[in-house]
Amino acid sequence: MMTELLLDLLLVVSLLLTALCALLAQDLFRAVVMFMAFGLLMALAWVRLQAPDIALAEAALGAGLTGVLLLDAVSHFRQSDSGAGSGESS
Amino acid sequence: MKLLLVLIAAVVLTVVLGQTAWQILAQPTPVDLRELVAEAMPDSGVAHPITAVLLNFRSYDTLLEIGVLVVAGMAGLSMRAVAPLEAPAMRTSDTLLQALLRWFVPFLLVLSAYLLWAGSDRSGGAFQAGAVLGATGVLLRLGGVPLDFLRPGLMLRLGLVLGFAVFLLVAVMGAIRGDMFLAYPQEWAGLLIVVIEAALTLSIAMVLVGLFAVAPAQATERDWPSREGKR
């Protein structure tokens, strides 16, 4: 009972922490990585709330695919940034 | 000063949210939904309550959901004309990715099929299976494996609308038989749900991979010639 409560508290705290890190990170790449970590922790939270279906969807869609799409977007930004600075000449 | 404002806003927000949550929690639920679902389970054709709700009792919502996904996929795909979808140079560039692909793709395909099948009596279902299948497609795409079916054409269109079409067909068949729209015949319900879920899985995966494939293709395309030139 006690350990479960502690685990849940740890989960809540780490969820809030990763969410804050994802929101406040200066580096976009770091924000995306934090977002993916948040997604995985959220999946754990769903499991703790006895909703394994949502946990599966969260892990696959929220952390996995959305993370990949966001990572892609970040690399897209970087490319267009460097492309505007130096890529034009080549 | 700014920090103070943010702090005050945070406190106010917390109080309002807390009060709302309290009010919602304090209200007694008018109907015991768990009980209701459990009573109707024998009629649903599947053994897992969540699948029963998603694909039988509230299948109208799922139908609209897949409709929204298909529209989103089409909108994404029609934003730009996609030229070559795979960069041949990428295919041999990363040996680790290649090795991973060889191990992961069969595993993910089996996992996706399992999730689809498991949906009938435990956690799983079309959306999860579709997401895993979509992730497999994304992995293949990252590995530079040619995915010819993603080119704009008949295959892509068919794949995108397959889930919605099958679902709608089943729904309309119910209406034509003189039943209600979306009412499955009782003895066929289990089979129909599996068929719909299989079609949904394919379409969902197609939409996800399609959306992934369209966006970055432009960047890599523009990027590749210049990188080749530098070498």
Closest residue of chain B to A58, computed from CA coordinates: B128
Contact B145, B92 (CB under 8 A): no
How is residue B137 written in tokens?
A: 């497609």
Look at chain A and report how many structural domains it folds into: 1
Residue A58 has pLDDT above 90, yes or no: no
Contact across the interface for B219 and A79, Cβ inside 8 Å: yes
pLDDT band at B215 (very low <50, low <70, confident <90, very high): low
CA dihedral sign of residues A65, A67, A68, A74: positive
Q: To probe the interface with A, which of B139, B223, B231 has the most A CB atoms within 10 Å? A: B223
CB pair distance less than 8 Å for A60 and B135: yes
pLDDT level of residue B226 (50, 70, 90 thresholds): very low
What's the gap in Å between the CA of B175 and the closest CA on chain A? Answer: 30
The Cα–Cα gap between A51 and A71 comes to 28
pLDDT over 70 for what percent of chain B? 86
The answer to whether residue A87 is domain-embedded is: no
pLDDT at B80: 64
Q: What is the mean pLDDT of residues B113-142?
A: 84
For residue A16, the model assigns a pLDDT of 94
Q: Is B7 exposed, middle or buried (0-12, 13-18, 19+ CB in 10 A)?
A: exposed
Whether residue B230 lies inside any domain: the answer is no
In this structure, are B2 and B59 located in the same domain?
no
Which structural domain, as residue segments, surrounds residue B61? 40-224
pLDDT at B93: 65
- Per the CB < 8 A criterion, the answer to whether B218 and B84 are in contact is no
Residue B163 within a domain: yes
CB < 8 Å to A72, chain B: 212, 215-216
> Does one domain contain both B21 and B66?
no
CB contact under 8 A, A90 and B229: yes
**Are the C-beta atoms of residues B152 and B81 closer than 8 Å to each other?**
yes
Residue spans of alpha helices (H) in chain A: 2-24, 28-48, 52-57, 66-82
Shortest distance between the Cα of A33 and any Cα of chain B, in A, equals 17
- Whether residues B26 and B44 share a domain: the answer is no
Q: How far apart are CA B126 and CA B205, in angstroms?
A: 10
Tell whether the model's pLDDT for residue A38 goes beyond 80: yes
Instruction: Evaluate whether residue B229 is within a structural domain.
Output: no
